[in-house]
Amino acid sequence: MQAILCDSRFVEAYNNMGNALKDAGRVEEAINCFQSCLVLQANHPQALTNLGNIYMEWNMISTAASFYKAAIAVTSGLSSPLNNLAVIYKQQGSYADAIACYTEVLRIDPTAADALVNRGNTFKEFGRVAEAIQDYIQAVTIRPNMAEAHANLASAYKDSGHQEAAIASYKQALCLRPDFPEVTCNLLHTLQSVCDWENRDTMFREVEEIIRRQIKMSLLPSVQPFHAIAYPIDPLLALEISRKYAVQCSLIASRFGLPPFVHPPPLPVKAEGKHGRLRVGYVSSDFGNHPLSHLMGSVFGMHDRDNVEVFCYALSQNDGTEWRQRIQAEAEHFIDVSAMTSDVIAKMINEDKIQVLINLNGYTKGARNEIFAMQPAPIQVSYMGFPGTTGASYIDYLVTDEFVSPTRYAHIYSEKLVHLPHCYFVNDYKQKNCDVLSLVCPHKRSDYGLPKDKFIFACFNQLYKMDPEIFDTWCNIVKRVPNSVLWLLRFPATGEMRVKAHAAARGVSPDQIIFTDVAMKHEHIRRSELADLFLDTPLCNAHTTGTDILWAGLPMITLPLEKMATRVAGSLCLATGLGDEMIVSSTKEYEDRAVELATNPAKLQALTDKLKEVRLTCPLFDTARWVQNLDRAYFKMWNIYCSGRHPEPFKVKEDDSEFPYDR
C-alpha cells in the first residue's frame, strides 16, 4: 500500500496488492486493484491473468477465457494464462485448442513436466494415446519422482493394451506416493483384467474404504461407475458412485453457462385429430464398429415412421464401416455432431424439439453426459450402453425388464424403471446374421487347436469378469467331467499364463485350459457352436457375448445376483423360452447343472436342439416386435408427461388398448 501511496502510477504495486487482497479473501477489493493496474497499463499480462483466475473460480468461464486470451495477446513469455485457457478448452471439449495452448507452454519452457502431463492427458482424452504416452515418458524423464506422470503413463499403457507395463507404472506411482487413491483403484482394475488375484480381497476392502471416504468428503470416487458394475461391492455404494459422477457432469454442464431450455409443450402428439409424430433422439459415440451398433443396427430405421420421428446424434466421427453407413442410411435423421461442443449439441437437440432423448452411452468411453445434464429435452432416458444406474437426477427413466431390474431392487436405481416385455437387451441377428442358421458350420475345431473328441466348456467374456470363486467352480466342473476342457479368449492375452497357473494350483492341467485369439464378430458367432456348453460369469454377465452364443445355438449356465450387470444373461435365456434349463440360483447348482448336462449327452442335445429351433420365433431375436414395444414405452413416457405427472415406473404390455404405440 505504501508503494501505491508514494507513486500512484506504480503499476506492479497494484498487481501485488491485488494478489494480497485475493489471498486474504477480499476478492472485490482485489478486482479493483487489478482493474486500477490495467487503467495504468492496459496490456499488463499478470493483472489480466489474475482477473481471469478470479472469474474462473467464480465459474464465469467465458469472462475468464476473455482475460486469458487478452493476456496471451500481449505477451509471449507467460505460461499461466495458456495453462488456464487450456483447462477451459478441455472442459468444453475443444481438445485441439487445448493441445495448442500446452504446446505453446512447452515452447516457453521445454522442461515443464506439468505441461507435458497436461498435454498428454488431453491427447489421451482426444484418443491419441500414442502421443500421450510419449508426453508422459518425457515428463518422467524430466521429473522421475513425479507420481502423477507415472500414474497417467500407466493409464495410457492400460488403454493401449499394455497391461504389464501399466501395472509396473502404477506400482512405481504408489512407491512415490503411497496415499494415491486413484492409482490404488486403477491398479486393482488392471490386475483384475489380467486375472492377477493376489491380495484381491484385501485390495477390494481397501478400495471400498477409499470410495466410502471420498463420498463422505463429497469427492469424485476414484472407481468409475463402469468398473463398479463388475465389482463385488454393495449395489447402494455403486449407486452413490454413479450419483457423484452425475453431479460432476452437471458441474461440467454449468461451465457452459446456458440458460434453462424451453421444452416442447406437453401436448399429446395425436391430440384433436392431429397427425403429429413423437420426436425421439438418440445420442451415442458408438454409431460404428462397436457392440452397440452390432446389436442395434436395425432399430433406428425400424421405428414406425407414421408415429415416430427418429434423430441420431453421433458423438464420434464416421469410421467408414458398414455399421455406421447402415445406421446413417436407415435413420430418418442422422447428424454427425462429433466436431461440436456439448452446448452446441444440446442447443441443436432442443431446436429439433426432441421430446424423448435417449442416452446410449451412460458412463462408457466417448460419452458426453453433460449434454443430458443441460436437459435439452423434457424426457431423458438411459438405455443399453451402461448396464447400471446413472445416479443422475436429469435421467428420468431406465429402459430395462422385469428380470434384469426387478421392482424389489428399485432402490438401487435413481431412474424410474420401465419394464419392457421379455428382454430389454435388443439384437440385430435376425437381420444381419442369418447365415448362422445354416446346418453346416464353416469352422472346424482343429482350426482353433480345439480337441475333436473332448467336451468343450467355453467362456468368451473379457477376463476382468472372472473372479476366483467362479474359476474354482469351473475347475471343479472340469475335474468332475472326464475328457473335458475349458475354452477361453485372450481377452487380453496377458492373462493367459496367470489363468493357466491358477488352474494348475487347483489341480487342473494347464493343457485343459485352451486360449484362442479374439475373432471378428461374424467369425466369433459362427465358431461359438464348436463348444458344447457356455459358462457365464456371475459378477458381470455375458451381455453381447451371451446374445452371440445363444444365436449360435450354444446353451449356457448363468447365475443371476442383484445388480443389473449380473442379471442380463438370465433375461436373455428367459426370452428364448428355455430359461429354466439355463438359469441357476446358487454356485452349487451352477456346478451341478453344468456337470449334469455335460455327462448326459441326450439331455444337452435336446436343449441345444430346442435352442436352435426357437431362434426365429422366440422374442429374444424378434427385433421388429422389440422396437414396437419400445415405441409403446416412449409414448407412455410422453403421455405421463402430458398429464402433468412426474416420471413413474411402468411395465409395457403388448396390448394396443392399454399401450398403444401410435398416440
pLDDT digits (tens, 9 = 90+) for 410-420: 999 999 999 99
Tell me which CATH code domain 278-421+625-658 carries: 3.40.50.11380
CATH code, residues 179-252: 1.25.40.10
Question: What is the rounded average pLDDT of the residues 279-295?
Answer: 97
**pLDDT attached to residue 662:** 59
Express each pLDDT in 563-578 by its tens digit.
999 999 999 999 999 9
- Tell me the per-residue pLDDT of 89-129, one tens digit each, with 9 for 90 and over: 988 878 999 999 999 999 999 999 999 999 999 999 888 99
- Is there a contact between 198 and 505 (Cβ–Cβ < 8 Å)? no
Task: Report whether pLDDT(2) > 70.
Answer: no
Residue 434 has pLDDT above 90, yes or no: no
Mean pLDDT (the chain) is 94
pLDDT at 3 over 60: no
State how far the Cα of 575 lies from the Cα of 570, in Å rounded to an integer. 9
Distance CA 447, CA 527 (A): 10
How far apart, in whole angstroms, are the C-alpha atoms of residue 359 and residue 368? Answer: 9
Give the model's pLDDT for residue 8. 44
For residue 656, pLDDT beyond 80: no
CA–chain centroid gap for 342, Å, is 17
In the predicted structure, residue 40 carries a pLDDT above the cut 90: no
pLDDT at 535 (0 to 100):
98
Task: Please determine, for residue 328, whether its predicted confidence score (pLDDT) is greater than 60.
Answer: yes
436-620 placed in CATH 3.90.1510.10? no
577 backbone φψ class: left, alpha, beta (φ>0; ψ -120 to 50): left
pLDDT at 41: 86
Q: Which amino acid is at 143?
A: R
Distances (CA, A) of 622 to 134, 298, 646: 48, 11, 32
Residue 77 is predicted with a pLDDT of: 86
**Could you tell me the pTM of the whole model?**
0.90
Cβ atoms of 73 and 41 within 8 Å: the answer is no
Percent of the chain predicted with pLDDT > 70: 98
Span 337-364, average pLDDT: 97
In this structure, what C-alpha cell is assigned to residue 212?
466410502
Cα separation, 117 vs 108, in Å, equals 16
User: How high is the pLDDT of residue 274?
Assistant: 74
Mean pLDDT of 239-250: 98
Q: For 391-409, what is each residue's pLDDT tens digit? A: 999 999 999 999 999 999 9
C-alpha cell of residue 237: 455404494
* 528-548 residue pLDDT tens: 999 999 999 999 999 999 999
Peptide bond into 181 cis (omega under 30): no
Residue 353: strand, helix, or coil: coil
Mean per-residue pLDDT, 423-436: 91
Higher pLDDT, 162 or 76: 162
In this chain, the answer to whether the domains covering 179-252 and 278-421+625-658 adopt an identical fold is no
pLDDT: is 266 or 23 the higher one?
266
Lowest mean pLDDT among 126-130, 167-171, 454-458, 478-482: 126-130
Per domain, the residue ranges of the chain are 179-252, 278-421+625-658, 436-620
pLDDT band, residue 6 (cuts 50/70/90): very low
pLDDT of the residue at 5: 43
pLDDT digit string (tens) for 579-630?
Answer: 999 999 999 999 999 999 999 999 999 999 999 999 999 999 999 999 999 9
State pLDDT tens for residues 356-399: 999 999 999 999 999 999 999 999 999 999 999 999 999 999 99
Per-residue pLDDT, 4: 45
pLDDT of 58:
87
> What's the confidence (pLDDT) of residue 276?
87
What is the H or E stretch that residue 133 is in?
A: helix 129-142
Give the percent of the chain with pLDDT over 90: 84
Bridge partners for 417 per DSSP: 398
